[in-house]
Amino acid sequence: MPVAEKSAALTLSKGLDILKYVQEHPGRTIAKIASDMDINRSTAHRLVKTLEGHYFIQQTPDGRGYEVGLGVLPPAATQLDHNPVRIASIPYLNTLAQDTGQRVNLGVLLGGDVLYLAGIEKPSLPNVYSRFGKVAPVHCCSLGKAILAMMSADEVGELLQNKTLERYTDNTITDRDALLSDLTATRRRGFAVDEEEHIDGTWCVAAPLMNSRSRPIGAIGISGSDRSTIIDSAEKVSSVAKVISHLLSPNVAL
């Protein structure tokens, strides 16, 4: 979980780890944070107070613990507003939602996980800001598989290096080789399919967004509870993904 770069600034690194920890475990006390993260209590105290001074974390209303602070919002808004993949995709997400009547999602890789950048929950009333920031495992959501399918086996291997393919449902692919062959099929097919592999009763299809150098930089997909509707819409998703990819291509790099 902690991205240990060699010769990194230890204190900064620990502070950021605390921020992540607090995000995932809201309401914990300093003592609890310290013991869970194997940091000395007084050290944790100082780091927490520093983060608090910058408004990155704050005390919970009851004053008993800590949670993510308001200070993270301005950077996040900046990131969202400047994100080229997101900007290029949003208009098409709306049309896709109209065309398919299903939930639509846009995701990219963050570390070894899929990060949702935008989503439309209720196709009836488009609200593209909803549901950003959630992360999902790469190996069992269609967005993740769509992206992985466009990477070499080596790259995939490296990405999954120190991850276990955790099981979420009976259909979750937990075997590396099985995943790799699924990715091959995905590549041939042109889109990824999630057959209740992450959440029971939810099917998804997704297609990758490619940049000018044929690298996957994200994926769009739809999800819903009616299998045939989802599968039948795969071509639509795929063609929209190609349109967005072309839009992204003229840009210099990434």
Partner DNA sequence: ACACAGTGTTTGCCATTGTCAAACCGGCGC
Partner DNA sequence: GCGCCGGTTTGACAATGGCAAACACTGTGT
| 190 Rama sector, left if φ>0, alpha if ψ -120 to 50, beta otherwise | left
Q: Name the binder of 29 from DNA, a copy of itself, none, CB < 5-8 A by kind.
A: DNA
Angle (CA) 175-180-186 rounded to 5° is: 125
The structure tokens listed for 194 are: 């999630």
How long is the chain? 254
Closest CA to 106 of 80, 67, 70: 80
Q: Give the shortest CB-27-to-a copy of itself separation in angstroms.
A: 10
Q: Could you say whether residue 20 binds a copy of itself (CB under 8 A)? A: yes
| Region binding a copy of itself by CB under 8 A among candidate stretches 69-77, 162-170, 171-179, 192-200 | 69-77
Encoded amino acid at 232, one letter: D
The nearer residue to a copy of itself, 31 or 110, going by C-beta atoms, is 110
From candidates 79, 124, 181, 239, binder to a copy of itself by CB under 8 A: 79
Encoded amino acid at 211, one letter: N
Contact track, a copy of itself, 128-167, x by CB under 8 A? xxxxxxxx--------------------------------
Q: Could you say whether residue 74 binds a copy of itself (CB under 8 A)? A: yes
Residue 122 vs residues 61, 67, 128, 170: alpha-carbon distances, Å: 32, 29, 10, 28
Considering only residues 10-69, where is the footprint of DNA by CB under 7 A? 10-14, 29-32, 39-43, 45-47, 49, 64-65
Q: Which residues pair with 203 in a beta bridge?
A: 195, 224
User: What burial class does residue 243 get, using C-beta atoms within 10 Å of its C-beta: 0-12 exposed, 13-18 middle, 19+ buried?
Assistant: middle
Binding residues vs DNA (CB under 7 A): 7, 9-14, 29-32, 39-43, 45-47, 49, 64-65
Binding residues vs a copy of itself (CB under 8 A): 3-5, 7-17, 19-20, 23, 26, 46-47, 49-51, 53-56, 61-63, 67-80, 82, 84, 108, 110-111, 115, 117, 125-135, 251-254
